Amino acid sequence: MNEGLPEGLDASVLEWLTARVLDALSRDEPVGPVALTFLLGRYASTDREDVGEALGRALAAALEQAPSVSGLAERTAWTLLFAQAARVSDDPRVRDAATSGVGQLSVLWSSDGGSRGVNDISARMRAIEACLVAAPVVESPNLLGAAVNELERLVAAHYEPGQGMGALEDQLATASTLLTAHALTGRVPYPMLADELVQVALRTPWASRSFEFNCEASLVCARLAELHRDAGYRQAAVTSVNGDYGQEAARVLSCQLPRVRDLGTAAAPFGLALAQWLNLK
């Protein structure tokens, strides 16, 4: 799967990025929610004591910072972090922070949510996905159903057969959210639509897009590649035969690799995507 890839597209990049995040935390430098989400993933996969201790301190500090966060993208990123951290942390404040974030994000699909001016499909999809990730850990029995209903409502309102969901960013954000919804509900049509949306997205070159977008795209491709390797899913679904998603993820990662060391902790989205892709090996 990784023939022809440049040297360095391997776990050593994850180790380097982990060291950069740990160093930044030791210097009390600002580290955002995506970098902490990456560090959380590293702790889950390595069980390193130094990573766990640094992560615990960083989460404690983040609990003080998050309530003052404004802006949908930041709120979504913090909610996603706390939702994932609540699965491994016994600090009730982490779960409370996830619950608070969900409460703020779910306003987007309240009866007057549309009047609040948030019409960006990709931003709304990312908020829905954060709520889906939080559903198993927060005390809200209706959250999963409400988030799934909003996902389906947005798809029904904006999806056009053969054209997908609109802008390139919308295709990828919707595909990611559909994959997360499938993991929670088992509904096969969700990843089938995600597959279609990524196929639509692949018609448009995205190399000139932002570093963060390319990382998101490679992460979605790696997730689809993993799903397509599941024999049970292949038997239940109609899957795309146009290309190898693992190869596509590798191609995008390869293009972005030269930027990683210059970005430092800001390269955390690359780390998330690379870790997902390495799981395919």
- What 3-state class would DSSP assign to 210? coil
Per-residue pLDDT reduced to its tens digit, 22-49: 999 999 998 999 999 999 999 999 999 9
Q: From CA 186, how far away is CA 38, in angstroms rounded? A: 26
* Assigned domain for 2 exists: no
Whether pLDDT at 69 is above 80 = no
- Report percent pLDDT > 70 for the chain: 92
* Assigned domain for 3 exists: no
Nearest to 125 by CA among 175, 85, 83, 79: 175
Residue 174 contacts residue 197 (beta carbons within 8 Å) = yes
pLDDT band at 101 (very low <50, low <70, confident <90, very high): very high
Per-residue pLDDT reduced to its tens digit, 171-201: 999 999 999 999 999 999 999 999 999 999 9
* Assigned domain for 236 exists: yes
* Assigned domain for 6 exists: no
- What 3-state class would DSSP assign to 160? strand
pLDDT in the model for residue 7: 64
* Assigned domain for 1 exists: no
Q: From CA 48, how far away is CA 38, in angstroms rounded? A: 14
Q: From CA 71, how far away is CA 117, in angstroms rounded? A: 12
Q: How many residues does the chain have?
A: 281
Considering only residues 115 and 95, tell me which one the structure prediction assigns the higher pLDDT.
Answer: 95
Q: What is the mean pLDDT of the segment spanning 52-77? A: 88
Whether pLDDT at 154 is above 80 = yes
Both structure tokens of 178: 């559909």
pLDDT in the model for residue 113: 46
**Helix ranges, 202-244 (H):** 211-228, 231-236
pLDDT band at 206 (very low <50, low <70, confident <90, very high): confident
* Number of domains forming the structure of the chain: 1
Look up the CATH number of the domain holding residue 234.
1.50.10.20
Place of tokens 């996905």: 129
Q: What is the mean pLDDT of the segment spanning 239-252? A: 83
pLDDT band at 1 (very low <50, low <70, confident <90, very high): very low
* Assigned domain for 4 exists: no
Residue 75 contacts residue 104 (beta carbons within 8 Å) = yes
Whether pLDDT at 253 is above 70 = yes
Residue 33 contacts residue 78 (beta carbons within 8 Å) = yes
* Assigned domain for 257 exists: yes
Q: From CA 3, how far away is CA 99, in angstroms rounded? A: 44
Determine the structural domain holding residue 35 and report its residue range: 11-278
pLDDT in the model for residue 65: 77
Residue 33 contacts residue 77 (beta carbons within 8 Å) = yes
pLDDT in the model for residue 246: 93
Q: What is the mean pLDDT of the segment spanning 258-273? A: 97
Whether pLDDT at 78 is above 90 = yes
Nearest to 196 by CA among 252, 248, 238: 238
pLDDT in the model for residue 95: 95
Q: What is the mean pLDDT of the segment spanning 232-250? A: 83
* Distances 184 to 66, 141, 160 between C-alpha atoms, Å: 26, 14, 25
Q: What angle do CA 67, 77, 198 make, to 5 degrees?
A: 160
* Assigned domain for 130 exists: yes
